[in-house]
Amino acid sequence: MALFRRLLGDVLRERRLEQGLTLRQVSAEARVSLGYISEIERGQKEASSELLASLCSALEAPLSEVLRDVSEAVAVEEAATAPTPLAGRRQVVASVSSAA
């Protein structure tokens, strides 16, 4: 199962690193403790909507884009972990139904 907080952390870290920013720089700009941002990036803490808005502002990333990226990551993980349909399952069920 995809954990939203882990995928959100991955997206935020990726955005930060793309801009060449350190945790310390984002922490100062967002006015959030460095340790807390680190825990969010590692998926260990949930980000409130206010905190997420502050981080997005510090990263100059629209919230909608960050959430879109997280949504896409969730979809990829869901597809990778989706159960594989059993081949011939319908035939067996149909055979049992018609025999009854």
How is residue 11 written in tokens? 């997206």
Between the alpha carbon of residue 7 and those of residues 36, 67, 70, 93, 94, the distances in Å are 16, 10, 6, 39, 41
Q: How confident is the model at residue 56 (pLDDT cuts 50, 70, 90)?
A: very high
How is residue 70 written in tokens? 């997280």
pLDDT per residue over 58-82, tens digit each? 999 999 999 999 999 999 988 888 7
Query: Given a cut of 90, is residue 96 above it in pLDDT?
Result: no
The structural domains of the chain, ordered by start, are 4-99 (1.10.260.40)
